[in-house]
Each structure stands twice: as structure tokens, then as C-alpha cells.
Amino acid sequence: MTAEFALDPKDPAPLYAQLYRDLRQRILDGGYAEGEAIPSETVLRDLHGITRSTVRHAVSLLVSEGLVRQIRGKGTIVSYTPINHSIWNFGGFTDFTRSLNEKPVTEILTQEIQEGPSGPQLRLVRARGVATDQHPTFLNLDTSVLDLRRFPGLEAFSFDRLSLYQVLREHYGVAPVRSELTLSVALPSELTRKVFGQLPDVPGFICASGDVYSSDDELVEHTSVVYSPVLEMRVGTSWNGTTPAQAKPRRSV
């Protein structure tokens, strides 16, 4: 903790909230790296002239967000806890966009056969979006990897026009029904700038990655989906313990 930051008694925010905001921002900015300990209660107390309870209140907020964890004998350690909510739409992107009364658009960025650990795989990278008057508005960057031993001939389909999941259902009798995905942050890159445009104020993108399974619990695909900032993600837990989600454009597209 550097001395350049000082709590302001005139700030309308409580002292614990000011300390929480500073620690949180330093963690998100990389000032405290994952696995590194933040300053101890005693150091923070003495540095700012506040009570231990004020420090503990601030740290408890960081713990509740999953930004830090407290380990006996080691202190308070920075730790980004993975979020394992499923936000998958098994109807497919085409059905999803049509449910919004939009015309789906797909641009194939990569469609190639690669050698996997147990044989040939199809690697499919697509920009998915909706048609607009001027040009498409892309909503996600979708990467799929599928085993060609299980889906022979899949590479011959034109997925700029066809739905991948519809092809799996109709031609291979396989229906994706379950996913195990992790949410993370994808940093801006040349590819995201190409798909989503130049977005200087966006530090990162929500990314869902993991595996998708069929009703017989067989692996269907490895997937990674990077979402555009124009999407508003809503995640909730249903009574049966599943975690469906909805996504909708923040603005009319």
C-alpha cells in the first residue's frame, strides 16, 4: 500500500468504503497480483489511522466479491474466484437472434481441420451478430472445436448460413443439453478490434469457455465465446439449481 492514497474524512463515503475502493482498484489494475498478499490489518490501520474494524469491513467486501481470500498464516491473498454459471442458449444463436426479431449474421473467420489429442478436429471461429442498415453489428466471437471422429464430414457444411447446433441435431442426432463453462475476462486484441470495432474505453470482454455435452453426457464441443459490450448479461438461479441466463442488446440494433 503506497502512501500516495489517503482517506478523506470529508468524503461522503464511509472510511471503510474508501479503503475498499482503493484496494479493489489496485487489484483490478494489477497493483496486487493474483497470489500476492495485500497489506495486513495492522499496516492498513497504522497507515490510515483507522480502527481494525474499519479495515476488516473493507476487506470483507473484497472477500465477498471473490477478489481476495484469507489464509491463516499467510494473510489476505489476491484470488480471482472463477464463476461457474452456465449462460448457454441451446437453441443456438440463430434462434436467439430471431427471438429478438433480428436477422442473424455470421462471418466465418476460421474453418479448419487441426490435429487434436485423439484425432482430427474441426476448429470453427465465427463472428456472430445481427444485420443493420449500414453493416452487421457483431455480438459475440464464437470459437468451437469438435471431434471429427464423432462428426465425420462436419467440415463440409457452410456455417456462415447454417446453425451448428441444428446440423448436429438433424444430421448426427446429437442435441447439446448441458455445459460446464467458466466466466473470465478476455483482453482486447487485434481479433476483437476487428469483430467489435475499436473500443478504447473497454478494458476487457466477458468470455465464457468450457465444454458442452449431449443428453448421454458425451462431449459435444469445446467452446469459447467472447461477448460484445453492447450485450447486457443477466444471470439467475432457478429453483432446480440450474443457472439460465438471458442476453439482450443494450440498444436497438
Q: What is the pLDDT of residues 57-93, one digit of tens each?
A: 999 988 876 788 899 889 999 984 433 333 455 556 6
pLDDT band at 55 (very low <50, low <70, confident <90, very high): very high
Residue 7: per-residue pLDDT = 87
For the question of whether the overall pTM of this predicted structure is more than 0.75, the answer is no
Range from 27-31, 75-79, 209-213 carrying the lowest mean pLDDT: 27-31
**Is it true that domain 15-78 has CATH number 1.10.10.10?**
yes
Do the domains spanning 15-78 and 93-249 agree at the CATH topology level?
Answer: no
Superfamily in which the 93-249 domain is placed by CATH: Chorismate lyase-like (3.40.1410.10)
pLDDT band at 239 (very low <50, low <70, confident <90, very high): very low
Query: Using CA atoms, how far apart are residues 184 and 84, in angstroms rounded to an integer?
Result: 10
DSSP, res 81: P
DSSP, res 67: S
Domain boundaries, the chain: 15-78, 93-249
**φ, ψ dihedrals at 133, nearest 5°:** -65, -40
Mean pLDDT rounded to a whole number for the chain: 81
Residue 177: per-residue pLDDT = 84
By residue count, the chain amounts to 253
Residue 250: per-residue pLDDT = 44
| CB neighbour list of residue 233: distance below 8 Å, 6 or more residues apart | 87, 206, 227, 245, 246, 247
Residue 10: per-residue pLDDT = 83
| CB neighbour list of residue 208: distance below 8 Å, 6 or more residues apart | 87, 88, 181, 182, 183, 223, 224, 225, 227
Region 226-253: what's the mean pLDDT?
53
